[in-house]
Amino acid sequence: AQSVTQPDIHITVSEGASLELRCNYSYGATPYLFWYVQSPGQGLQLLLKYFSGDTLVQGIKGFEAEFKRSQSSFNLRKPSVHWSDAAEYFCAVAAGTDKLIFGTGTRLQVFP
Amino acid sequence: DVKVTQSSRYLVKRTGEKVFLECVQDMDHENMFWYRQDPGLGLRLIYFSYDVKMKEKGDIPEGYSVSREKKERFSLILESASTNQTSMYLCASTSPGLNTEAFFGQGTRLTVV
């Protein structure tokens, strides 16, 4: 069965620092991969997605993610974090059905 | 502006009550989902529906049922609420296909006392 692992529960960075959030998936074939962000008190918003082609995908708010099949990873990156990026980030996979399977999330805290 | 609207942001119910959580989308999406969000557990799928009157169990359907009588509306029902169903509930909708974006409501925080 497909699954998603986000090994980091909580990450703290300083404003202006670079960021990488880890995501590993389990699925036999090529997965459809997503990153969503949830700001406090809000629903989830799509940051970016990958399903084929270039393994480096660009998203909104300056985020990017790289699909690495050999490592079963889809890590999210941002070169310079802003205080408004503080939120919870979820990696998700869609495979075999139209269902989205989510990871447990990573809470990002940004210090000024 | 596309929207998924959940009828309540906050609900407080008593143990044993029958609880209805309502979700409406205005994007003519075929697929609708109910997730439960708990700290450290992420989003877990309760039920989803891919067409009117069609439904499938997700990963944690026990204690819940759903209803989809119209395409735009998907209801989650707690037949007899229990304290372990205190949680944040999120509704989402998508068009068919694996690479489509899911649109989420703002969530309903349910407290069962």
Place of tokens 């708010």: A61
pLDDT reported for residue A107: 96
What is the rounded distance in angstroms from the CA atom of residue B65 to the CA atom of residue B47? 8
Give A3's contacts in chain B (Cβ within 8 Å): none
pLDDT at residue A98 is higher than 90: no
In a 13 Å sphere around the CA of A89, the CA atoms on its Cβ side amount to 30
Cα angle B42, B44, B50; round to 5: 135
A105, A10 Cβ separation under 8 angstroms? no
Question: What is the CATH T-level fold of the domain B4-112, as seen in this structure?
Answer: Immunoglobulin-like (2.60.40)
CA distance B26 to B96: 15
Say what the pLDDT of residue A43 is: 86
CA distances from A6 to B10, B16, B23 (A): 28, 35, 28
In tens, the pLDDT along B62-97 reads 999 999 999 999 999 999 999 999 999 999 999 887
| A53 Ramachandran zone, left/alpha/beta (phi>0; psi -120 to 50) | left
Sequence-ordered list of residues with C-beta below 8 angstroms from that of A89, at least 6 positions apart, any chain: A6, A21, A35, A36, A37, A38, A47, A76, A105, A106, A107, A108
Task: List residues of chain A with CB under 8 Å from any CB of chain B.
Answer: 6, 9, 32, 34, 36, 41-46, 49, 51, 90, 94-95, 98-105
- The highest-level CATH class for domain A3-111 is mainly beta
Rounded CA separation A100/A13 (Å): 29
- By C-alpha distance, the chain B residue nearest A91 is B42
> Cβ contacts (< 8 Å) between B50 and chain A: which residues?
98
Q: Where are the domains of chain B?
A: 4-112
Domain ranges of chain A: 3-111
Residue-wise pLDDT tens digits, B8-67:
999 999 999 999 999 999 999 999 999 999 998 999 999 999 999 899 999 999 999 999
What's the CA angle centered on B41, arms B47 and A107, to 5 degrees? 125
The region, left, alpha or beta by phi > 0 then psi within -120 to 50, assigned to residue A71 is: alpha
